[in-house]
Amino acid sequence: MTVTTDTADTGDTPAVAHFRFFTFDVLRTRRIGHSFLRVTFGGESLREFRSGGYDQSLSLFLPLPHQEHTVLLSTDEDTWFGAWREMPEEERPVMRSYTVREQRRTAEGADEVDIDFVLHGDASPASHWAGRARAGSRIMAIGPAVAENKSVRFQPDPAADTLFMYADETALPAAAAILERLPAGQKVKAWFQVPHADDRIALETPADADVAWVLPSESGAGRADTVLAALRADAPERASEGAYAWIAGEAGTVRAVRRHFVQERGIDRRAVRFTGYWRLGASEEQLLLEAYTGKAPSEDPDSAL
């Protein structure tokens, strides 16, 4: 998922005031669908963790298969990235970006954070790690130290009368967190694209939400074509002037959905927030390097459709 550690100047590396390193201890895991595993983390350092809710994201450093815990050579804001990149490949922790599904303080006063992982075999280092995560394993993370931070992308106008949403399986945890926090009666139209029918998990929301699940096409159509067919099958009507859209998932599909919302539904492009969590044909390492060196694709609402 998209790296979201921002600075006040460039938005590309962690700011001292807003982001810091945390130690996450695995407490337990729970399967919540055919493709999803929820990992619950705890630890003393979480007392300083300040999730802003909604689609709050963070970067995780996961140990390699032969390692039980994450080890980093530096957690200093000025040196950690270079030190991490210079580690031998056989020892360097895998860095991946995820969203916080939930943060809470238990009745006993302990702090917990849930992160949902998509399981798709051992080819993915994060999927491999999550599928074998055990209580007591320890990882490192760069996360928010203040709740008001730029890593929360969902920022609608308070006066928005209708919310449009699209998320694929990688962005579904963020979408679910958004839905839980919406005000009662908020009108929502959402399309969630998942790889398996049993991934249509229960979603809690006080909003007036109409959710459509998009499954892989039996015709073999690609991701973008499949979701566009679902969007158009809804007999799209022109959106109101107060509509807001939040789109997250595979970058190519995100672009196609953004174009549909702006050109076919008439949503003001300035009211569309879009984020590519991953990109077909690109490795996570490529995307991380783009994000941390300021070369990631623009998310400017006025950028070309």
pLDDT tens track for 114-127: 999 999 888 889 99
Evaluate whether 87 touches 98 at the Cβ level (below 8 Å): no
Residue 261 pLDDT grade (very low, low, confident, very high; cuts 50, 70, 90): very high
Q: Determine the pLDDT at residue 5.
A: 38
Question: Can you give the three-state secondary structure of the chain, one letter per residue?
Answer: CCCCCCCCCCCCCCCCCCEEEEEEEEEEEEECCCCEEEEEEECHHHHHCCCCCCCCEEEEEECCCCCCECCCCCCCCCCHHHHHHHCCCCCCCEEEEEECCEEEECCCCCEEEEEEEECCCCCCHHHHHHHCCCCCCEEEEEEECCCCCCCCCCCCCCCCCEEEEEECCCCHHHHHHHHHHCCCCCEEEEEEECCCHHHCCCCCCCCEEEEEEECCCCCCCCHHHHHHHHHHHCCCCCCCCCEEEEEEEEHHHHHHHHHHHHHHCCCCHHHEEEEEEECCCCCHHHHHHHHHCCCCCCCCCCCCC
Rounded to two decimals, what is the model's pTM? Answer: 0.90
Evaluate whether 36 touches 118 at the Cβ level (below 8 Å): yes
Is pLDDT above 50 for 12? no
Is pLDDT above 80 for 220? no
Is pLDDT above 70 for 103? yes
Beta bridge partners of 40: 28, 114
Q: Which two tokens stand for residue 184?
A: 């009662």
Instruction: Find the mean pLDDT for residues 280-302.
Output: 74
Domains of the chain: 19-144 (2.40.30.10), 162-292 (3.40.50.80)
Q: Which residue has the tokens 């590309």?
A: 12
Residue 237 pLDDT grade (very low, low, confident, very high; cuts 50, 70, 90): confident
Residue 128 pLDDT grade (very low, low, confident, very high; cuts 50, 70, 90): very high
pLDDT tens track for 148-202: 998 999 999 999 999 999 999 999 999 999 999 999 999 999 999 999 999 999 9
